Structures are given as structure tokens and as C-alpha cells.
């Protein structure tokens, strides 16, 4: 009679040799592997994160009853998995995908490994579909496509999270599932984002997964990987599009450094372990646009990284810049001057670029970056002079109009259609005789009137996404008729 062995029932047993905060040294697990689930006692769980000559090293991720040296440890061949599924939309969960919003249990569709392998190049296709962020400076100058990885970088309190939440607001009705992943931030910061999500009805298509500064090292380390596993369910199983905001990877790096020091790994540059690059690249590589044969879904990453005094050459900022498809740089100086969003157009770039832009935006915004940069340089030169010539004053006034076109309020994303109208009005010179301080008010009034009397033109523009001769004539007519009547 043949002997049948159920591998899923095989267990390996060991003993705890030492406990250092959330790191446990386990003796006797000779066949375990990285990412494997281990259990301490009845209700404490961990994941294998490394080995030395004598022990397996495990990170506690689910805390139960206290553990101590000598306690029994059991492991199976299972990888560490979390529940995923469509029922998670509209819910707030912790780093293990357990609900923490008081709305009851969540029905899972399946279990997914947290350290999944990123799709290969052959399974992907180039990024060609636009993802509206609602931030004019981004959509006009550093556009983002579905499947892209665009870094948001800058000092604290410069509006990084606002760029990300505006992008989430802009996905309403676009068929994109938005996941906000909070890593190591304070409860107050998380609550501010939850308030925006509540007020703007992002729960209809959004998920929040959080491990705040009050949570354990293990949860803060795992939470971005768990968010990616949740996103991969929608991409791989449903062929859907997902946007993930990682807020922020600096805190994740700090957490991993702390874990590594407890694991007695040698510190390197800026006291980070040498494998921090692998840790983050393994994460961002899970973003991408899948081929039609593999479902055609996509995962877009918006990782956030905090700098100190604008230093983008630090170890973590330079690492993440090298592994993403561009960066949006937030400037403390611009923020202090009142220019919001405080995006530095000189240091911001998208390596996907104009491939994903609307043809209308591409056509109208071609020289916008250059005009704005030239205005800022001219403004610096004229600050120290008592008077300027009439020609220079005209150039300064036009530059001020450019700045007003690019400004916008927080939590107020601008639809792509409205952005085209903004650019058209500027390019065709309809704003030239308007005082810069009145430009935004006049344009808002104009847009309200255009929606009432020019709906057919707007519908055509949204359909073709380009300025055809017919649309050009109709827009010119609307501007001549409605713009002059602005107060």
C-alpha cells in the first residue's frame, strides 16, 4: 500500500532561543525559508526574515500572549498570506488585512502571499493610458500613466500627501481602485487623510490599509507588501486598474534599519543596511501594466519620500529616484512663497512623459515649463531693481498669469477637460488683458458659463481629446462671447 503524505499537514518544531523586541531567534527549524509563517504558542505569529549559523530569525507580525525563551515554535511549508477580495473596497484594515473600522468582518475571496514575485517583462506592455491626477502642474508637465511609478518627494509639510489624495479623488468614476497605505505616520496624520476620504466619497472605490507609528515594527515593515498583494488581486483576478499611495517609504526605511540592527546586520551608508535598495525595488517592481493575455490590468504606484532640507542626494531619496519612472519634487521655498501646489518644475520629471497625455494637453502645454522657468529667473533678477522697462514688465505680467494658471487649492483636483480650457484660454491670449490676481476667478466664472451653454463642444473635446479645427473655432467663439462679459 502506497504511503500518502499531505505536505500541507507537515510541521516542523523548534524552540525560542532569544527574543529581542520583535525579533525572535529560533533553534531547530532546519528547513524553513524566507517569508515562511511561524507560530509561537497559540496566538502569536511571525514571518521568517533571515538566518545565521545557528538560528532562524523571525519577525513578530501578530501579537498574542507573551513569549519567552524555551517556548515551542511550529512552522508549516505555508508562505505568509493575507486575505484579499472585492469586499475590502470601502474598508479600513490593518497590516494583516483585518478590519479596524468597526464595520464587522470582511468576506475574503482568497488568500494571497505578501511577498509575491513581480510580473516578468514578457507579461507586461508599455504604459500608454493616462491617469488624471487633478493637479495641473502634474498633468500638464509631468504626466502619469496607468502602470507607472511616480515618486513624490520633498521636505515635511510641503503638500506631498495632498498631491496623492487629489489623485485619489480624481479617480472617481474612472474605474480605478485606490489604496492608501499609511506607513509609520501619526494617528493625527492618518485621521486627516481619512477625513478627506470620507468627505469626498473615496470609500466607494477606495481602501485604507495602515500601520501607524503606534504599531509594531513587523506591521510597519509588512504593510506596503500587503497593500501590493491586495492590489494584485484586482489586477490579476479582475483585470482592473489600481492606484496605491505609499505614505511614506522614508518611515518604512527607518523601520527596516531598526529591524536590521536587531538582526545584527552590518550598517552601511547613512546607517542603512546594504539590502535596503532590494527591499524597496522588490516593492515598486510589482507595479506595471499587464498584457491583454494576462488580464490587461495595471497597478500604479505613488510612493512618498521625505527629504531633509531639500537634500535629494540622501541614500533613501536617491535610491527611490533611481527605481521609479520619475519624481514630483515639492519645494519648501515655493511653499513659503505661497505658490501651491509647491512643485518645483525644474527638478520634477516623468520618464513616461507625453506618451500618456491627451493630445490637446500635449499641444497646448509644449512651452509652458520653459515660460514658467524663464519667469521665475526674470523675477529673481528684477527683485533688486527699483524700476523695470515696459517690455520687462509685460514679460513679468505674462509670467504672473502663467503662475495663476498653474496654481490651485488643496483638495480641489481639476478635471482634464477643464485643464484643456485653462490652457486654451492662456495660449490664445484671452487672459492677456486680465489682471493676474483676477485670472482664477474669471476662469472659474467662464467655465461655469461654458458648461451651461457649450456642452456640445465640451462633449466633442472629451471624446476626441484633441483640439480639432472645428473645436478650435467653437472654443474661440465661446471665449469671445463669454470671457469679455466676465466682471
Residues annotated as part of the active site:
351
Using CA atoms, how far apart are residues 55 and 58, in angstroms rounded to an integer?
Answer: 9
Locate 278 and state its grid cell. Answer: 532590494
At CA 16, angle to CA 225 and CA 42, rounded to 5?
70
Question: At 296, phi and psi to the nearest 5?
Answer: 75, 10
Q: Bridge partners of 243?
A: 178, 300
Distance CA 13, CA 11 (A): 7
Per the CB < 8 A criterion, the answer to whether 302 and 244 are in contact is yes
d(CA 379, CA 385): 10
- Cα–Cα distance for residue pair 73/47, rounded to 1 Å: 12
Please say whether the beta carbons of 402 and 372 come within 8 A.
yes
Rg (Cα) of the chain, in Å, rounded?
A: 26
Amino acid at each position: 500500500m502506497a504511503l500518502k503524505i499531505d505536505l500541507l499537514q507537515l510541521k516542523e518544531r523548534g524552540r525560542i532561543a532569544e527574543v529581542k523586541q520583535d525579533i525572535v531567534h529560533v533553534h531547530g527549524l532546519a528547513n524553513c525559508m524566507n517569508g515562511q509563517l511561524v507560530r509561537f504558542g497559540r496566538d502569536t505569529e511571525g514571518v521568517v526574515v533571515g538566518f545565521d549559523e545557528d538560528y532562524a530569525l523571525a519577525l513578530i507580525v501578530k501579537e498574542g500572549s507573551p513569549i519567552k525563551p524555551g517556548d515551542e515554535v511550529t512552522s508549516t511549508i505555508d508562505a505568509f498570506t493575507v486575505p484579499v477580495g472585492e469586499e475590502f473596497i470601502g474598508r479600513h484594515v490593518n497590516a494583516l488585512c483585518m478590519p479596524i473600522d468597526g464595520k464587522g468582518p470582511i468576506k475574503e475571496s482568497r488568500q494571497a502571499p505578501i511577498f509575491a514575485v513581480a510580473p516578468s517583462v514578457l507579461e507586461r506592455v508599455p504604459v500608454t493610458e493616462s491617469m488624471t491626477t487633478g493637479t495641473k502642474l502634474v498633468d500638464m508637465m509631468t504626466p502619469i500613466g496607468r502602470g507607472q511609478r511616480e515618486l513624490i518627494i520633498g521636505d515635511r509639510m510641503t503638500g506631498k500627501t495632498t498631491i496623492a489624495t487629489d489623485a485619489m479623488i480624481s479617480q472617481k468614476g474612472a474605474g480605478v481602485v485606490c489604496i492608501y497605505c499609511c506607513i509609520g505616520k501619526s494617528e493625527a496624520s492618518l485621521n486627516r487623510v481619512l477625513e478627506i476620504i470620507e468627505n469626498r466619497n473615496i470609500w466607494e472605490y477606495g481602501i485604507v490599509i495602515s500601520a501607524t507609528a503606534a504599531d509594531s515594527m513587523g506591521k510597519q515593515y509588512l504593510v506596503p507588501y500587503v497593500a501590493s498583494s491586495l492590489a494584485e488581486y484586482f489586477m490579476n483576478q479582475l483585470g482592473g486598474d489600481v492606484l496605491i499611495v505609499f505614505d511614506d517609504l522614508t518611515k518604512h526605511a527607518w523601520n527596516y534599519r531598526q529591524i536590521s540592527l536587531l538582526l545584527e546586520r552590518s550598517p552601511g551608508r547613512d546607517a542603512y543596511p546594504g539590502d535596503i535598495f532590494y527591499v524597496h525595488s522588490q516593492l515598486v517592481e510589482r507595479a506595471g501594466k499587464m498584457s491583454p493575455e494576462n488580464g490587461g490590468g495595471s497597478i500604479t504606484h505613488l510612493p512618498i519620500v521625505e527629504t531633509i532640507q531639500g537634500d535629494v542626494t540622501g541614500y533613501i531619496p536617491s535610491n527611490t529616484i533611481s527605481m521609479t519612472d520619475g519624481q514630483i519634487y515639492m519645494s519648501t521655498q515655493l511653499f513659503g512663497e505661497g505658490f501651491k501646489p509647491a512643485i518645483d518644475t525644474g527638478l520634477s520629471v516623468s520618464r513616461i512623459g507625453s506618451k500618456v497625455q491627451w493630445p490637446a494637453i500635449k499641444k497646448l502645454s509644449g512651452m509652458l515649463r520653459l515660460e514658467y522657468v524663464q519667469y521665475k529667473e526674470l523675477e529673481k533678477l528684477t527683485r533688486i531693481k527699483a524700476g523695470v522697462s515696459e517690455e520687462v514688465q509685460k514679460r513679468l505680467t505674462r509670467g504672473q498669469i502663467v503662475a495663476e494658471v498653474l496654481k490651485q487649492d488643496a483638495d480641489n483636483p481639476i478635471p482634464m477637460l477643464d485643464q484643456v480650457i485653462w490652457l486654451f484660454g492662456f495660449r490664445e491670449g484671452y487672459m492677456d488683458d486680465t489682471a493676474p490676481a483676477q485670472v482664477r476667478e474669471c476662469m472659474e466664472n467662464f467655465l461655469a458659463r461654458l458648461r451651461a451653454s457649450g456642452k456640445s463642444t465640451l462633449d466633442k473635446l472629451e471624446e476626441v481629446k484633441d483640439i480639432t479645427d472645428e473645436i478650435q473655432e467653437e472654443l474661440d467663439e465661446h471665449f469671445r462671447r463669454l470671457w469679455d462679459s466676465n466682471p
